[in-house]
Amino acid sequence: MKQKALMGLAVGLIVLLCITCAGCTGTEDLVSDQTTTLENSELSNKSTENVAYANNLFAFDLYKRLASENPDSDANIFFSPLSLSSAFALTYEGAEGETAEEIRSVFYFPESIENLRDGYLRINAGINAEDPKYDLQIANALWAEKTYPFLDNYITTADKYYSANTTNLDFISHPEESRLIINTWAEEKTREKIKNLIPEGAIGPLTRLVITNAISFKGTWATQFDQNRTYNTSFDTPSETSVTVGMMQKTDEDALFGYTDTDDLKVLSMPYDHESKKELSMVVLLPTENNLKAAEDVLDTGTLAELENSLEVQQVRVYFPKFTLETEYSLSDTLTEMGMPTAFSDAADFSGMDGTQYLYVSDVVHKAYVDVNEEGTEAAAATAVMMTGKGLVEEDPVPVFRADHPFIFLIQDNETGAILFIGRVSNP
């Protein structure tokens, strides 16, 4: 809300400046030029909002799908929706017809391709803007079979709007060496947190393109926890067994956090230290009882936004567990069931990449890592979309916030609202 108010004030000042300057010069050209700039600025803000909104809708859909696919209630979940949606924005750029429409529907991409491109361009630029207090980076890349004739327009678009440079590899004769090169890139872009992204055998002689994204974050809490106050205690899992965790605590007068609660849920926002205007925070959804449904029920953009708007900075006695999660997913079947089967079939149309209907998506792999401790948080994720020729198809009073039972957490970009990471801690 504050951001919108400031944006409105800035717009008003620009308009006032335009009128004043027009009166001083007596010309209409200056007003026209500045009005065009203003309109472009408003359009860019709208495209950023649309892409962030689409990313969050996909985040909630995929979380719920993964939760339903893991009947073991003690299983942890963690992934980066922005990494996945970024990789599939590049995939969508080369899709046509029903293939494109299914991808757009699953990822909620805006119908306007200009809106999509501008949104990712600006979100990625904002993420990669440096802040001395935290490290946040995102990167895209294309890895193409060196003998395959991809369309110049597709390669140029990937570079211009998604900063995805294309590297030519020899998938036909050296698939394993090519796989290791891509995995090394992912490892470097995630500060060595994501290793062996693409498993052995996932790239073969019929691989023609691999689309990758990597995102990494390392930040310290604006209000850090004292390591000397961390103690061992029990954490109740959904299956009603207990495990021992290191429980951090912040309970003094400096424990000021955004907080709100309902009958079924407590919501806490813990900000990360920063110097630039781009703020990042961890938002934790803690059910009042050991029942994750109360947290999962608010995973929609309207309800979550309402809860976040009701957060008030106040003193909160916070008890929060240290934890480290490492997850990996093969998402071909999941995305098929979510509504985009054509991309994985012989009916796939990626003629926007090569001018033919020869390519299909053979696999989608995603790995993610997060470590939460007294100092702050380190998180990373990487995605690879493998495009293969159709010669062979292989199936394959002071409130107390005590997180001593399962909870959901999100790491988000406060400026755009885009969810960078989302997870469920059932058994830390």
Quick check: helix, strand or coil at residue 34? helix
Q: What is the pLDDT of residue 43?
A: 57
Q: What is the pLDDT of residue 34?
A: 35
Task: Provide the pLDDT confidence category of residue 66 given band limits of 50, 70 and 90.
Answer: very high
Q: Are 269 and 341 in contact (CB under 8 A)?
A: no
Q: What is the pLDDT of residue 41?
A: 54
Q: Residues, the chain, total?
A: 428
Quick check: helix, strand or coil at residue 139? strand
Closest CA to 164 of 373, 385, 396: 385
Q: What is the pLDDT of residue 37?
A: 37
State pLDDT tens for residues 16-54. Answer: 223 233 333 333 343 334 333 334 555 568 999 999 999
Q: How far apart are CA 247 and CA 212, in angstroms?
A: 36
pLDDT beyond 80 at 58: yes
DSSP string, 199-254: PTTSS-TTEEEEEEEEEEEEEEBSSPPPGGG-EEEEEE-TTS-EEEEEEEEE-STT
Average pLDDT over residues 383-403: 76
pLDDT beyond 80 at 15: no
Task: Provide the pLDDT confidence category of residue 420 given band limits of 50, 70 and 90.
Answer: confident
Closest CA to 191 of 420, 410, 371: 371
**Position 353, amino acid:** M
Q: What is the pLDDT of residue 2?
A: 34
Terminus-to-terminus CA distance in the chain, angstroms? 34
Task: Provide the pLDDT confidence category of residue 277 given band limits of 50, 70 and 90.
Answer: confident
Q: What is the pLDDT of residue 107?
A: 98
CATH of 48-219+324-389, one of 3.40.50.2000, 1.10.645.10, 3.30.470.20, 3.30.497.10: 3.30.497.10
Task: Provide the pLDDT confidence category of residue 386 given band limits of 50, 70 and 90.
Answer: very high
Q: What is the pLDDT of residue 229?
A: 97
Average pLDDT over residues 134-141: 97
Task: Provide the pLDDT confidence category of residue 419 given band limits of 50, 70 and 90.
Answer: confident
pLDDT beyond 70 at 204: yes
- DSSP single-letter state for residue 129: S
pLDDT beyond 80 at 406: yes
pLDDT beyond 70 at 7: no
Q: Find the range with the poorest average confidence among 24-33, 66-75, 86-95, 113-122.
A: 24-33
Q: How far apart are CA 66 and CA 69, in angstroms?
A: 5
Q: What is the pLDDT of residue 25?
A: 35
pLDDT beyond 60 at 5: no
Q: What is the pLDDT of residue 40?
A: 55
Domain positions in the chain:
48-219+324-389, 221-323+399-425
Q: How far apart are CA 255 and CA 296, in angstroms?
A: 27
30 is written with which tokens? 């200056």
Average pLDDT over residues 396-402: 73
Q: Find the range with the poorest average confidence among 27-41, 203-217, 290-304.
A: 27-41
Q: What are the start-end ranges of the E strands in 24-85?
A: 77-79
Task: Provide the pLDDT confidence category of residue 9 given band limits of 50, 70 and 90.
Answer: very low
Average pLDDT over residues 355-381: 97
Q: Find the range with the poorest average confidence among 123-132, 242-251, 379-388, 419-428.
A: 419-428
Higher pLDDT, 419 or 385: 385
Q: Are 36 and 44 in contact (CB under 8 A)?
A: no
Q: What is the pLDDT of residue 362?
A: 96
Q: Which fold has domain 221-323+399-425?
A: Alpha-1-antitrypsin; domain 1 (2.30.39)
Distances (CA, A) of 215 to 189, 324, 347, 383: 7, 17, 31, 9
Higher pLDDT, 30 or 402: 402
**Position 425, amino acid:** V
Per-residue burial over 110-133, b if 16 or more Cβ lie within 10 Å, else e, is beeeebbbbbbbbbbebbeeebee
What share of the chain has pLDDT > 90, as a percent?
76
Quick check: helix, strand or coil at residue 111? coil
The rounded mean pLDDT for the chain is 88
Q: What is the pLDDT of residue 301?
A: 87
Q: How far apart are CA 353 and CA 96, in angstroms?
A: 10
pLDDT beyond 70 at 423: yes
What are 400's strand-pairing partners? 317
Average pLDDT over residues 79-104: 98
